[in-house]
Amino acid sequence: METLYRNGNKENIINSNPSREVPMDERSKLENEKQSLAMNRLQTEKKIETLEKHIKELKEEKSRWDKQLTMILQRQDATNKKIQIIDNAAQLASKMSSSPPSSPINQPISEGDFKKVLRGHKEAVMSVDCSLTDEIAVSGSGDKTVILWSLKNFSPIHTFAGHTGWVNCTQISNRRCMSGSSDKTVRLWDLDSHEHLNTYVGHKGGISCLRYTDEQLLTGSADKTIRHWDVTTGECVLEMTGHQKFVSNIQFFGYGLASSSGDTTIRLWDLRTGNCHRVLEGHVGNVSCIQFDDTKVISGSADKTIKVWDLRSGDCINTLTMEKPINALQFNTDMLVAAVDKAIKVFNIATYEFVQGRSLEGHQGNVTSFKFEDDFLISGSTDCTV
């Protein structure tokens, strides 16, 4: 309503345009809605932030549980393997008690009975390894081949060819075999499909020794170095130098590595850094073989001695003198076994005394390599036989 004064008289006139008040009301409503939306936005953003934080915590918790599950699965797998080993040992014990004396693989080392000669190589057998669980063995030879053998019927299953030099070392792990050769390479073979899976190249001298697990490969060479490889990629991840002559043997456990050499020394290494933290000196000839556990290192040498070293102090605590050079050795909690010339001799690990009647003889050439598992032993010789 508007008021109009005409000729001094007051008149009321109806406003013919009421829409001038409406925009003000609409704007007020929109302002209120704007404030409401802003508040809702803040609340929504806080809710999203809270949810994102919760999601992050859930992911972290899931990661922790994933790690826990991985540890459980690993322990479960290790337990299953131990159970399998125990079951296999029980089966073997049953076979030993029930099979006639003529059965080819039913007699323990303690009896010293020779069971079977495996013929197939055309040159000296330089390396052997076996898996009683899988009932297989492998041998590497100067004829440049690796032969896979059945321990069920003692016959060859397959011959792996590809190396261009002597095969000096072999090792089985999880149905696969690594072989090292004087051709400066290491090859990985599948023992089921018989396929060549990978070649590891990098050493400047022949491969003299190796140690292999599913995840790690370490090699020693005539180039005086030790290399640590990634099994999957084939890449060398660490090179260790220090020996003055060829590396003759290596063994690793966890982050600890022991190596022996033609320079007459034994070196102890940390695999995390590649640093040598101790040198054991005392042999006067090539140290051909070594093995260590959590308290001691035992080494064999061309100087015709076996030495026992205290792992912590590095002191030599015992020396056994033989009539011939020691070519290979292996020990467990019960016995020390050593290849001396053409024979394999068994010693009491507690006293280091030779056990009478436990000299395994039969090879016509030097025993270059052997492997015992439980109470069974397989050996290779320069006489071309296993």
Model confidence over 157-178: pLDDT tens digits? Answer: 999 999 999 999 999 999 999 9
Highest-confidence range of 4-18, 24-38, 183-197, by mean pLDDT?
Answer: 183-197
Separation of alpha carbons 68 and 338, rounded Å: 43
For the whole model, what pTM was predicted?
0.71
pLDDT per residue over 59-75, tens digit each?
Answer: 887 777 777 777 677 66
Does the structure show a pLDDT above 60 at 227?
yes
Q: What is the pLDDT of residue 60?
A: 80
pLDDT per residue over 199-215, tens digit each?
Answer: 999 999 999 999 998 88
pLDDT per residue over 97-138, tens digit each?
Answer: 444 333 334 444 545 566 799 999 999 999 999 999 999 999
Q: Of all residues in the chain, what percent carry a pLDDT higher than 90? A: 66
Separation of alpha carbons 274 and 239, rounded Å: 7
- Residue 79 has φ and ψ, to the nearest 5°, of -65, -45
Does the structure show a pLDDT above 70 at 80?
no
Longest CA–CA span in the chain (Å) reads 150
Separation of alpha carbons 129 and 372, rounded Å: 9
Distance of CA 54 to the CA centre of its chain: 39
At 249, which amino acid appears?
N
Q: Which residue has the tokens 């009647």?
A: 357
